[in-house]
Structure 1
Amino acid sequence: MLKEELKIQPIREILHPEIARIEIFRSKEETALAAAGAIALVVEQNPTATITFATGNTMVPVYKELAKLVERGEVDFSRTTAFHLDEYYPADPDKEDFSFVRYLRELVWKPLHIGTVFELNGLAKDGVAEAKQYDKLLRSHPVDLAILGIGPWSDKTQTGCHVAFNESGTPFDMGGHLAQLDVTTIQRDQVDRGQASPGMALTQGIGNILEARSILLVAYGEDKGQSLRQALTQEISPQRPASAIRMVGDKVTIFGDFAVGKVLDAH
């Protein structure tokens, strides 16, 4: 049973005509704690929940807070089923630090003691076939909660706001696929982050993500706030993949920190 004090209260809510809940917290730390509590509550209410896990820096503090809850015996993931959003292709989780499967094994599968895990195989000989197989698995295991982050927006190129590796221009009805990464994404990964990651990735499609029974999107900082503002206030368009969540907004919750709230207020 989750302790009452773990249910962090937002400092305020932002009303949006298409999104069920947008909650703003004092800090990145409180946002992560609130997100962990929301995920744990889903599992407390449905111990056999199927969850899609995001990766990236945004989720690290969220998963660390979840691990603390598991360690204290306040939530049990042992009967849950896990999918994840994406994986570089090719990628060897045993050898390459940039592998998202490696990230998830270290931060989610092992510390949370997930019951059943379905991983994208970054070493599959046929990436297209692997993506299609994962798509088939997703469609046979309805997802109760999809956890999302949001990619950066570029005013210069008027592209960004990706979810998973669905880059600008990806059709909203697309299922799992092998994606060619955008030049700006490759530059971010290989130049800004110094990764030796490839220019392709296996990814759930936006169509898969929108089919989840509920969606939780987490964001911190001014840059992610700018991405959210694009997704929430501009035209719903494949140019801004994250804008697709507005099409199913009645099942979407967004948690952001003070900086995110400040940017959204500026609209």
Structure 2
Amino acid sequence: MSGSSALFKTDGEKVMQSSKIERSGLQIDVFPTREEASAAAADEVEALLRKKDSVNLGLATGSTPLPFYRELVRRHREEGLSFAQMEGFNLDEYEGLPPEHPESYDSFMQQQLYAHIDARESHLLPGIYQNAEEACRAYEEKIVEKGGLDWQLLGIGGNGHIGFNEPGSPVDSRTRRIELDERTRRDAVKQFGTLEKVPLAALTMGIGTILEAKRIVLMAWGAGKAGILQKALQGPVTAEVPASFLQTHGNVRILIDEEASQG
């Protein structure tokens, strides 16, 4: 772990913090690198897999969790860690993308994780559907049927979104179709190539759905995330910064690298 962090302020003044910070019911751990932070998250998952006969993981996509998935795959291949009792639930999916689309989150999860481990089952929100409300209701029911989420992984968007819960999303929101914020779509251009190719909407677990997970771990890397982390973790709890609702959960761990800690 690193020695100090300048992310958080009190009464407008920067204060030096140790690498482990307790604030608003959140545990915040600062690591020198994203790989070390990801290994800490993998430690939690490994502990669950060794302790429980059935483990339900809520899983995120994008560039942030890539080192985490690499570490899980490494432990499976090199150390024999079994995922046979694990079921995964994806956080979200772009509307209109079939599973085989290279930018679908279904494709992402297969390539980064499921093709390399022995998971019991993977549950993914559909990109193609006839009725969004029915698809989302079925997903909620599946989570309940399986006993709820033991552990939920999150990233954070530049506008404070978690999953695709954009600013304005209510705390009691459930899995649903949502139109994507313009900033979110612009951030996705690097994956899709042009703004016109970025989907206009997605299905996402709701904030209420996320907050029902027994344990939540949020990861963030780089100086570009420092500002929104400060708003989400130290600012007021508000729908305008959806990640701020994590302050109300009571069992949340924030894993960041040193660059993200420098507010």
Return the TM-score normalized by structure 1. Answer: 0.87
Q: Which residue of 1 aligns with 2:108?
A: 103
Question: 1:22 aligned to 2:22?
Answer: no
Contact 1:108 1:114 in 2 (8 A): no
Q: Note the C-alpha offset of 1:136.
A: 1.8
Amino acid at match of 1:89: E
Alignment partner of 2:188: what SS?
Answer: helix
SS of the residue 1:71 aligns to:
helix
Task: Name the CA distance, whole Å, in 2 between partners of 1:191 and 1:49.
Answer: 34
CA 89–192 in structure 1, closer or farther in 2 if over 3 Å, else same: closer
Instruction: Name 2:208's counterpart in structure 1.
Output: 207
Is the Cα contact below 8 Å between 1:217 and 1:253 reproduced in 2? yes
CA positional deviation for 1:120: 1.1
1:125 matched residue in structure 2: 130
Q: Which amino acid is the alignment partner of residue 24 of structure 2?
A: P
CA distance change for structure 1 residues 259 and 191 in 2, over 3 Å: closer, same or farther? closer
Question: What's the counterpart of residue 80 of structure 1?
Answer: 86
Alignment of 1:177-196 (within 5 A): 177-190=176-189, 194=193, 196=197
Q: Quote the Cα distance in structure 1 between the aligned partners of 2:152 and 2:24.
A: 21
Which 5+ residue runs of structure 1 have no aligned equivalent?
A: 1-8, 153-159
- Using a 3 Å threshold, how does the CA distance of structure 1 residues 192 and 116 change in structure 2: closer, same or farther? closer
Between the aligned partners of 1:136 and 1:175, the Cα distance in structure 2 is 11
User: Aligned partners of 1:229 and 1:247: how far apart in 2?
Assistant: 16
CA deviation after TM superposition for structure 1 residue 260, in Å: 2.0
Q: State the distance in 2 between where 1:47 and 1:69 align.
A: 19
SS at match of 1:58: coil
Which deviations, in whole Å up to 9, do the C-alpha atoms of 1:45-69 show, x marking residues without a partner? 2241110001110011110111000
Aligned 1:1-267 pairs, distance under 5 A: 11=3, 12-19=19-26, 21-94=27-100, 96-141=101-146, 142-152=148-158, 160-190=159-189, 194=193, 196-248=197-249, 250-263=250-263
- The 4+ residue runs of structure 1 with deviation greater than 6 A are none
Task: Name the CA shift for 1:252/1:191 in 2 (closer, same or farther; >3 Å).
Answer: closer
The Cα RMSD (Å) is 1.6
SS at match of 2:136: helix
Tell me, in whole angstroms, the C-alpha distance in 1 between the residues paired with 2:56 and 2:121: 9
Identity of aligned residues (%): 28
What is the rounded CA distance, in whole Å, between the counterparts of 1:219 and 1:47 in structure 2? 30
AA at the equivalent of 1:213: K
**How much does 1:125 deviate?**
1.8
How far apart in 2 are the matches of 1:139 and 1:10? 39
Find the residue that maps to 2:99 and give its secondary structure.
Answer: coil
CA shift at 1:205, angstroms?
0.3
SS in 2 for 1:57: coil
Report how far residue 140 of structure 1 moved. 2.4
Q: Cα deviations across residues 2-59 of structure 1 (Å, max 9, x unaligned)? A: xxxxxxx56521231321x111111122122222222222222224111000111001
In structure 1, give the amino acid aligned to 2:247: R
**Measured at CA, do residues 208 and 42 of structure 1 come closer, stay the same or move farther in structure 2, by a change above 3 Å?**
same
1:90, CA displacement in angstroms? 1.1
Q: CA 1:192 to 1:114, structure 2 compared with 1: closer, same or farther past 3 Å?
A: closer
Mapped to 2, the partners of 1:62 and 1:192 lie a distance apart of: 20
Q: Give the Å deviation of 1:74.
A: 4.1
Partner AA of 1:252 in structure 2: V
Query: Counterpart of 1:5?
Result: none
Secondary structure (helix, strand or coil) at the match of 1:32 reads helix
d(CA) in 1 for partners of 2:178, 2:131: 13
Unaligned 5+ residue runs, structure 2? 4-18
